[in-house]
Amino acid sequence: MNAGLATLSQFTASTPHIVDENGKTPENSIAELIKLELNGRKQWISLRGWDKNAPVLLFLAGGPGGTQMAAVRHELAELEKHFVVVNWDQPGSGKSYYAEKTKNITPETYIQDGYAMTEYLKKRFSKEKIYLVGESWGSALGIFLVDKYPESYHALIGTGQMVDFAETERMDYDKAMEIAKSKGDTAYIKKLMANGRPPYYGKDVIWKSALYLNYLSAYMARNPEIHNPGYNTLRDICSSEYGLLDKINFFRGIVNTYNHVYQQIYTIDMRKDCTKLDVPVYFFLGRHDVNAPTVLVEEYAQVLDAPDKGIVWFEHSGHSPWINEPAKFVREVLSCFSENKTQE
């Protein structure tokens, strides 16, 4: 890679201006891509909204190690009319890949920096509290944050909600085996059996997990009941937020950070660890999600003690309702958060 070109691409990375239907930028809008230092770690966020005085919504990406800065802008642009939408590349992901050495990242790293991020946003936008939306791994991080710092959040929406990480992996493995047997896919069955049932440990966790996770993703992509299946990875990685180095780290985070952090969270089970929360919590679940088993979320919702709670079903979604049914997702976000908006 040409070093000069790579450096230039990093400096010229940006998030597009907000534009209305007439192609004009609303006077009080905000569209920024900025670097912050959180607990001594340099990290990147995007801030986008039609009105910088609107409530603040922090989106917590999946992973660990995933960046959805561009994906959220593309899929959930409608939210920007109602909130200042903040996307954060967590340590070890995308633009924040070098925020911390991979070997030093723990779940606590994300909790500490997520709280520091929250305090920054509250101060900058003069808010007492902000809103959280977390997807997949981000849904778990959202639970950790509202559990530890309830005074900082109006409400949380978890989508593709993770509850028990080790049990999820076992259920995913078993589901992939069940599908493979029904198809007579003997070569694939042999590969699964060679790895054995999860959880896995060591340097190749990502590759062993990918064997069944990719299989289940392909299974969901073939399901005609799921609308708009899958990520538009080429569109996202070519988006203006990412320089050339970020594009490389887009994938390095998914592989290296995931591999290191994921095996640290097998012991977590929300049904035992986080049963009382002092913040309203809503679960947005895809009816056809075979990645994060919804039965675990239903069990968690039953034992959860919270000021308000609920499950919103997306009948044409798999693991990513915000991508599969974005229009409905936005409507339901506004519905769940509307009561809390009067508290600003």
| Assigned domain for 323 exists | yes
In which band, very low, low, confident or very high, does the pLDDT at 282 lie, cut at 50, 70 and 90?
Answer: very high
DSSP string, 170-199: HHHHHHHHHHHHHHT-HHHHHHHHHH-SSP
Q: Are 150 and 187 part of one and the same domain?
A: no
| Assigned domain for 15 exists | no
| Assigned domain for 7 exists | no
Question: Could you list the residue range(s) of the whole structural domain that residue 53 is in?
Answer: 24-165+229-341
Q: What is the pLDDT of residue 24?
A: 95
DSSP string, 285-338: EETT-TTTTHHHHHHHHHH-B-SSEEEEEETT-SS-HHHHSHHHHHHHHHHHHH
Q: Are 97 and 176 part of one and the same domain?
A: no
Other C-beta atoms closer than 10 Å to the C-beta of 222 total 9
Q: Are 196 and 75 part of one and the same domain?
A: no
Q: How far apart are CA 244 and CA 2, in angstroms?
A: 10
Q: Comparing C-alpha atoms, which of 82, 24, 29 is closest to residue 51? A: 29
Q: Are 336 and 271 part of one and the same domain?
A: yes
Q: What is the pLDDT of residue 2?
A: 72
Is pLDDT larger for residue 230 or for residue 215? 215
| Assigned domain for 119 exists | yes
Is pLDDT larger for residue 334 or for residue 339? 334
Q: Are 211 and 80 part of one and the same domain?
A: no
Q: What is the pLDDT of residue 12?
A: 86
pLDDT tens digits, 235-281: 999 999 999 999 999 999 999 999 999 999 999 999 999 999 999 99
Q: What is the mean pLDDT of residues 330-336?
A: 98
CATH of the domain at 298: 3.40.50.1820
Asked if pLDDT for residue 296 goes beyond 50, the answer is yes
Q: Are 71 and 185 part of one and the same domain?
A: no
Q: How far apart are CA 93 and CA 52, in angstroms?
A: 26
In which band, very low, low, confident or very high, does the pLDDT at 340 lie, cut at 50, 70 and 90?
Answer: low
Asked if pLDDT for residue 1 goes beyond 60, the answer is no
Q: Are 145 and 40 part of one and the same domain?
A: yes
Q: What is the mean pLDDT of the chain?
A: 96
In which band, very low, low, confident or very high, does the pLDDT at 123 lie, cut at 50, 70 and 90?
Answer: very high
Q: What is the mean pLDDT of residues 192-199?
A: 97
Q: Quote the number of domains for the chain.
A: 2
Among 221, 249, 267, the domain-final residue is 221
Lowest mean pLDDT among 131-140, 185-194, 330-339: 330-339
Q: Are 81 and 193 part of one and the same domain?
A: no
Q: Beta strand pairing status for 84-89 and 130-135? A: unpaired
Q: Are 215 and 244 part of one and the same domain?
A: no
For residues 242 and 250, the answer to whether their CB atoms sit within 8 Å is: yes
3-class SS at 13? coil
Bridge-partner residues for 47, per DSSP? 32, 86
Q: What is the distance, to the nearest Å, from the Cα of residue 136 to the centroid of all Cα atoms in its chain? A: 5
Asked if pLDDT for residue 343 goes beyond 90, the answer is no
Q: Are 171 and 103 part of one and the same domain?
A: no
339: phi then psi, degrees, rounded to nearest 5: -65, -35
DSSP string, 229-259: -S--HHHHHTSTT--HHHHHHHHHIIIIIHH
Residue matched to tokens 């050339």 = 244
In which band, very low, low, confident or very high, does the pLDDT at 342 lie, cut at 50, 70 and 90?
Answer: very low
| Assigned domain for 235 exists | yes
Q: Beta strand pairing status for 281-286 and 30-38? A: unpaired
Among 198, 221, 244, the domain-final residue is 221
Q: What is the pTM of this model?
A: 0.96
3-class SS at 48? strand
Q: What is the mean pLDDT of residues 94-101?
A: 98
pLDDT tens digits, 312-323: 999 999 999 999
Among 175, 203, 221, the domain-final residue is 221
Q: Are 160 and 182 part of one and the same domain?
A: no
Percentage, residues of the chain above pLDDT 90? 94
Q: What is the pLDDT of residue 34?
A: 98
Q: Are 128 and 262 part of one and the same domain?
A: yes
Q: How far apart are CA 85 and CA 83, in angstroms?
A: 6
Q: What is the mean pLDDT of residues 176-205?
A: 97
pLDDT tens digits, 9-26: 788 899 999 999 999 999
pLDDT tens digits, 157-177: 999 999 999 999 999 999 999
| Assigned domain for 1 exists | no
| Assigned domain for 121 exists | yes
Q: What is the pLDDT of residue 162?
A: 98
| Assigned domain for 4 exists | no
